[in-house]
């Protein structure tokens, strides 16, 4: 299957104070490219809506060579790369107009039933997804597991503005909250080389979310988001970053 290509120009309001694109905004570009390709392939938002279900991001890994900056043009190439009973994988490569590589990313997606919120068996939906395909990353995409040593750094009540078409928090918002939590702890904007994110549960308007961070000089910084009003195992999101 031929990759789809979309071009995005980094706007001033997409950037951190240092002029680099915000990682959550970069993920918005990838999400938009994926959505356009899914629509082109007949498995987009409207197509799944007719089946009373929708896509959700389950797992994501971004490896950065250079983060794009203000006014850079970014060509995002994306293609589906495999399918199991519960997840469909999709790859991304971002380049400038000269073919210089900005980043590579891999993702895994699930389809949830609108009423029950439970994952659908993809093999029973007749979506014609490819069973395999080329991968953008050398490393296999793995789901993160909670670790020890987290420190609570922030909390928030989910605003209406964080919701997307599906009525739950958009996947890019979790990244934004995590990086805001990290900034509140370190008071610096790190130059990120790698983001690994695992999504564990849907989050909705007015949910109370706690943000916890665990730092390790020899390894990745780990960020956990969980529902504040529920037991300590009510985790909704895990992230690791390398700088």
pLDDT digits (tens, 9 = 90+) for 76-110: 999 999 999 999 999 999 999 999 999 999 999 99
**What CATH number is associated with residue 174?**
3.10.129.10
Residue 132 within a domain: no
Residue 105 within a domain: yes
Compare 102 and 217 and report the one with higher pLDDT: 102
Residue 130 within a domain: no
Write down the pTM of the prediction: 0.95
Sign of CA dihedral 28, 180, 56, 242: positive
Q: 69 and 19 in contact (C-beta within 8 Å)?
A: yes
Task: Please determine, for residue 229, whether its predicted confidence score (pLDDT) is greater than 90.
Answer: no
Please check whether residues 111 and 208 belong to one and the same domain.
Answer: no
Residue 135 token pair = 């991968």
Please check whether residues 115 and 162 belong to one and the same domain.
Answer: no
The residue range of the domain holding 59 is 4-124
Tally of domains within the chain:
2
- Containing H/E element for 24? helix 23-40
Please check whether residues 117 and 19 belong to one and the same domain.
Answer: yes
């Amino acid at each position: 299957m031929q990759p789809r290509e979309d071009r995005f120009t980094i706007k001033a309001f997409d950037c951190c104070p240092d002029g680099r694109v915000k990682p959550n905004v970069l993920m918005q570009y990838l999400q938009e490219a994926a959505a356009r390709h899914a629509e082109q392939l007949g498995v987009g938002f409207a197509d799944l809506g007719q089946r009373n279900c929708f896509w959700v991001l389950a797992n994501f890994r971004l490896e950065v060579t250079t983060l794009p900056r203000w006014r850079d043009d970014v060509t995002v190439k994306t293609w589906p790369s495999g399918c199991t009973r519960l997840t469909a994988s999709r790859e991304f490569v971002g380049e400038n107009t000269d073919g210089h590589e900005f980043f590579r990313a891999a993702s895994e997606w699930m389809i949830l039933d609108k009423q029950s919120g439970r994952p659908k068996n993809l093999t029973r939906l007749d979506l014609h997804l490819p069973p395999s395909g080329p991968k953008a990353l050398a490393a296999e995409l793995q789901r993160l597991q909670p670790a020890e040593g987290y420190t609570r750094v922030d909390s928030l009540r989910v605003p209406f503005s964080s919701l997307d078409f599906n009525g739950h928090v958009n996947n890019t918002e979790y990244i934004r909250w995590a990086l805001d939590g990290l900034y509140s702890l370190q008071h610096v904007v790190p130059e990120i080389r790698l983001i690994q994110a695992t999504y564990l549960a849907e989050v909705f308007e007015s949910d109370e979310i706690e943000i916890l961070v665990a730092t390790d000089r020899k390894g990745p910084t780990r960020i956990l988001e969980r529902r504040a009003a529920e037991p300590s195992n009510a985790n909704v999101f895990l992230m690791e970053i390398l700088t």
